Amino acid sequence: MEKPSEMILVVDDDPGFRRLLETILVREGYRVETATSVREAQQAGAARSFSLVISDLKLPDGDGLEVLRWWKENAPETPVIMITAFGTVSSAVEAMKLGAADYIGKPLSSPDELRLLVKRILEQRRLQAEVELLRDETNQRFSCDSLLASDPKMLQVLDMVRRVAPTSATVLLIGESGTGKELVARCVHNNSQRADRVFVPVNCAALSPTLIESELFGHEKGAFTGAVARHLGRFERARGGTLFLDEIAELDANLQAKLLRVLQEKKFERVGGTQQITADVRIIAATNRDLKKAVAEGRFREDLYYRINAFPIEIPPLRERPADIPELARFFLEKTARSLGKPTPELSPEAENLLLAYGWPGNVRELQNVIERATILCDRRVLVSDLPLDVGRAELPQTIKAIERKAIEEALRANGGNRAKAAAQLGISLRTLQYRLKEYRLASTRS
């Protein structure tokens, strides 16, 4: 049986514009219900659920923001698109702050403007529903308290972790520095059959070539100058548990060969020893390099690559999972404030916008450092001035600015380029309008 199409509520007291929206949406296969006032919209919302609400800002019995607030309180999963007209830029900005999904101008520039916007918003809604379902399934089957994830890309990583953790497969974690590869590795271990045994990490890049062999496999007394006693390596210390080999691409050719042998034969000897020791460990490797390229260039053994690449998991950089940024920021705020013995400060909307706009080359590790610094500097609220200069220079998201720019362009066009009349129509001073014209690099021929 064919699934019913999405039901959309259109709220507008202008019969011509209301019928136009209804006609466009019905032709796209949507089911449409209409309302002409705040009261009718609320009655419709109480009677049935909608996939999307499109509401004018100006209604006969109140403000379209009342429609938005009602849906946010009673059906927060339903996105609301606001219809804006000349002179309503301040209300449009307020609507975006209150959680409107987007806005659309009145009159429409073209039917495609509505079609594309509705399609995008509904696709986002469907994706969010899938994310919530995936999160629920993930939380029911395994726990990973050390990893915070709200973004779809990171939730997919957690789903892969959930699937591979109970197996004995070797896992390769791929991602930029600071993305949390060790946290993911610990998550695999904590949900594995070896969870009650030890997790042993080793950073292959932090040890010199002369020390790393001893660190991995151990050594016997007298094996080399300074070896005054037997030393157990990480493979022995991780017996029965998990060995995490971070930055595995940094191993030299000699160590790569020895590691391959251990993975194939499940046995090794200590440096300077002859006794065969069983390697009863699960291997999780990680790298921030392109191992395929390293293999092609002869810097990494192809046979070792295929051995550790049994189950690759790519961890996206923070800039590609923006939904995680606010949650991580608040987590680090609470954690740092607790360590400082002070109340947890609030993250201001302006500061949050800058965090979302910044590119985070240092990923989660950089975000943690930024928030720790801000927690120390701020009083009760993290402001833009509490953020480092690099973050503060990030370009703000353009949604609200786009609303304002479009309203100014339309006001100037409607008034033949007359700035004074345009400012009056927009409800702002001429000086403010002139400042905005300069900021947005807009030009008009008349003042």
What is the C-alpha separation between 371 and 201, in angstroms, rounded?
Answer: 26
Which residue do the tokens 């450092």 mark?
Answer: 369
Token pair, residue 329, equals 């920021």
**Domain finish residue from 94, 129, 164:** 129
> Which of 392, 410, 428 is the last residue in one of the domains?
392
Q: Residue 4 has what pLDDT?
A: 44
CA dihedral for 347, 349, 353, 356, sign (positive or negative): positive
Residues 111 and 31 in one domain: yes
Residue type, 318: L
Q: Assess whether the previous peptide bond of 312 is cis (omega < 30° from 0).
A: no
Which residues, in sequence order, are bridge partners of residue 418?
446
CATH number of the domain to which 430 belongs: 1.10.10
Q: Does 184 share its domain with 292?
A: yes
β-pair type (31-35, 7-11): parallel
Number of independent structural domains in the chain: 4
pLDDT of residue 212: 86
DSSP H helices in 142-177: 152-164
| Whether residues 328 and 424 fall in one domain | no
| Per-residue DSSP letter, 343 | P
Q: Give the count of beta carbons closer than 10 Å to the beta carbon of residue 430.
A: 14
Residue 20 located in a structural domain: yes
Boundary-marking domain end, from 129, 164, 196? 129
| pLDDT at residue 6 in the model | 84
The 8-class DSSP code of residue 318 comes to G
Residues 196 and 288 in one domain: yes
Segments forming the whole domain that contains residue 348:
319-392
**445 lies in a domain?**
no
Instruction: Give the domain CATH number at 363.
Output: 1.10.8.60
Q: Given this model, what pLDDT does residue 128 score?
A: 72
Residue 206 lies in a domain: yes
In this predicted structure, what is the pLDDT of residue 402?
59
What does the pLDDT read at residue 138? 46
**189 and 195 in contact (C-beta within 8 Å)?**
yes
Residue 1 lies in a domain: no
The reply to whether 230 falls in a domain is no
Instruction: Decide if 231 is inside a domain.
Output: no
Residue 287 within a domain:
yes
Q: Are residues 298 and 165 in the same domain?
A: yes
Are residues 331 and 428 both part of a single domain? no
Whether residue 112 sits in one domain with residue 196? no
Q: What is the CATH number of the domain that holds 308?
A: 3.40.50.300
The predicted pLDDT at position 330 comes to: 92
Dig out the tokens for 373 from the structure.
């610094």
Q: At 16, which CATH number?
A: 3.40.50.2300
Q: Are 204 and 351 in a shared domain?
A: no
Contact, 152 vs 166, CB < 8 A? Answer: no
**Which residues share a beta bridge with 278?**
267
In sequence order, the 6+-apart residues with CB closer than 8 A to the CB of 247 are: 203, 204, 205, 206, 286, 287, 288
Position 444 in a domain: no
d(CA 218, CA 237): 10
Distance of alpha carbon 45 from alpha carbon 87, whole angstroms: 28
For residues 374 and 414, state if they share a domain. Answer: no
- Asked if residue 187 and residue 87 are part of one domain, the reply reads no
18 secondary structure, DSSP code: H
Q: Are residues 306 and 329 in the same domain?
A: no
Give yes or no: residues 163 and 23 share one domain. no
Cis amide leading into 209 (omega within 30):
no
Q: Can you give the pLDDT of all 447 residues of the chain as single tens digits? A: 344 468 999 999 999 999 999 999 999 999 999 999 999 999 998 888 899 999 998 899 988 899 999 988 888 888 999 888 755 566 667 778 788 888 888 888 888 889 999 998 988 887 776 665 555 444 444 457 667 887 888 888 998 999 999 999 999 999 999 999 999 999 999 999 999 898 999 998 887 777 888 889 988 888 887 787 878 888 988 989 999 999 999 999 989 999 999 999 999 988 888 888 888 999 999 999 999 999 999 999 999 999 999 999 999 999 999 888 988 999 999 999 999 999 999 998 888 888 988 889 999 999 999 999 999 999 889 988 888 877 766 655 444 555 567 778 777 888 888 888 887 776 677 777 777 787 777 765 454
